[in-house]
Amino acid sequence: MDLTTTLLIILGVIVVVAIIGVVIAKSAHKGAQTGEKPAVEASEATAAAEGEPQDAEHKQEAEAQAVAATENKPKAEPQQTAEPQQTAEPQPEAELAAQPEAAKPEAAAQPETAAQPQPEAPVKQEIVKPENSQSRLVRLRSKLAHSANPFGKALFSILSRDHLSEEDWEDVEDTLLLADVGAEASEKIVDELRQDSRAQGTRSAEEVRDMLRERLLDAVGRDTDRSLEALSNNEPAEPGAAEQAHPLHVIIMVGVNGTGKTTTAGKLGRLFVAEGRHVVLAAADTFRAAAADQLATWAAQSGIEVVRSDKDGADPASVAYDAAQKALNDKADVLIVDTAGRLQNKRNLMDELGKIRRVIEKLTPVQEVLLVLDATTGQNGMTQAEVFAEAIGITGVVLTKLDGSAKGGIVISVQNKLGVPVKLVGLGEGPDDLAVFDPAGFVDGILG
């Protein structure tokens, strides 16, 4: 066998292997598209590759195959380079094209969910016009007159008897004590009533009522100054007035949990708005969950701005300071500071009230410290009042839940014990159910 023949045989084998590779590639491509018969075609190609090199019956056949392979070689090479490009390129393009199409619906869906809560915001802007002070007094007097208070009725029933024995007078004193008037005040009222009874002799029911009314008015304090300094001037300051003639009035609200302190702060702000005052509320109760939200809800009903902290457990004194600074910058008329409710036996918390006052007074004086008391707590309210008065100093008392309460005598007891007046009373759940305390209306209400 000469060299030329050997080279032709080797070249033929190479060409056959190349053809087998092309066949396998085509089979793999068809198998990926149809999922059928890739293994069968590969085995047939392999059998052909093994059989043809080993078939040496005649050298001429090999030479013919080599010649045929040489003629077909230029055609096979472009197929090997072109087919991988055709199979590789369409697949990534299809995948890349499919991915943006799948992402577009997701991006379009997100704005739909984000836009839903926004229309609810304007609800906070609904402001109902508050009642003025005179209108409140008329309505609250009516509520007191219709309240089922057994305090005055029991006294009237006893004093209407023809001849009052010593036991009758003891019943009068017991009735006063049960109404939380206090021992000292009860004894004084009984002595005065006894003297009036002896001087007048036989009396009609109307005379008895008038006598009792006068003594209760004296006990409540008919001439006591109950005004709030921020309301002492009936007209709000004119825009651009001198700062000295238009000071900021600061009111700090204190009390234990459950007395309605935060609610009272919101209602008090509304009372000032009704009188044309510019009010700022400070949410310095940073301990109770949702206290700031509760205050903001009340403020929204009257269009009042609230200064609050976004941090849980923030320093109450810091919130109060920021609120005072803002109220001064905005030239507000009134700043009402709501503080955290605390038990009177918690010394550290009580000391914190003093800190709040000192911090505010670095910027502006504090005119009022109002203690909020629940009228139904009775003499326990006296204990609270004494401790708060010692910790921060009290200028007045707000009695809540006074409607229909048998504990109305706490008004007399607090004033006698602390020497500070009851300035405001709450007689309902409505936003305007808070008014300046009216002694005559209160006494008439409990007498029925």
- Residue-wise pLDDT for 262-317, tens only, equals 999 999 999 999 989 999 999 999 888 788 999 999 999 999 999 999 887 889 99
202 is in an annotated binding site: no
Burial of 118 (0-12, 13-18, 19+ CB in 10 A): exposed
256 is in an annotated binding site: yes
- Report the alpha-carbon distance of residue 228 to residue 398 in Å, rounded: 12
Pick the most confident of 23-27, 93-97, 248-252.
248-252
Burial of 24 (0-12, 13-18, 19+ CB in 10 A): middle
149 is in an annotated binding site: no
Mean pLDDT (the chain, rounded): 74
CB neighbour list of residue 337: distance below 8 Å, 6 or more residues apart: 250, 251, 252, 253, 282, 284, 320, 323, 356, 360
What is the domain partition of the chain in residue ranges?
3-82
Residue holding tokens 């702000």?
269
- Report the alpha-carbon distance of residue 444 to residue 428 in Å, rounded: 18
400 is in an annotated binding site: yes
96 is in an annotated binding site: no
- pTM, entire model: 0.65
The pLDDT tens digits of the residues spanning 347-364 come to 777 888 899 999 999 999
- Report the alpha-carbon distance of residue 211 to residue 65 in Å, rounded: 141
DSSP H or E run through 229: helix 229-232
171 is in an annotated binding site: no
- Report the alpha-carbon distance of residue 230 to residue 100 in Å, rounded: 65
35 is in an annotated binding site: no
Query: DSSP class of residue 224?
Result: -
- Report the alpha-carbon distance of residue 89 to residue 95 in Å, rounded: 10
224 is in an annotated binding site: no
341 is in an annotated binding site: yes
Count how many residues are written for the chain: 448
The pLDDT tens digits of the residues spanning 43-63 come to 444 444 444 444 444 445 545
**115 vs 330, residue with greater confidence:** 330
Residue holding tokens 């926004």?
118
pLDDT (average), residues 144-172 = 76
401 is in an annotated binding site: yes
pLDDT of residue 364: 96
260 is in an annotated binding site: yes
402 is in an annotated binding site: yes
261 is in an annotated binding site: yes
- Report the alpha-carbon distance of residue 129 to residue 359 in Å, rounded: 34
**Rounded (5°) CA angle 402-405-407:** 95
Give the distance from CA 407 to its chain's centroid.
33
CB neighbour list of residue 258: distance below 8 Å, 6 or more residues apart: 341, 374
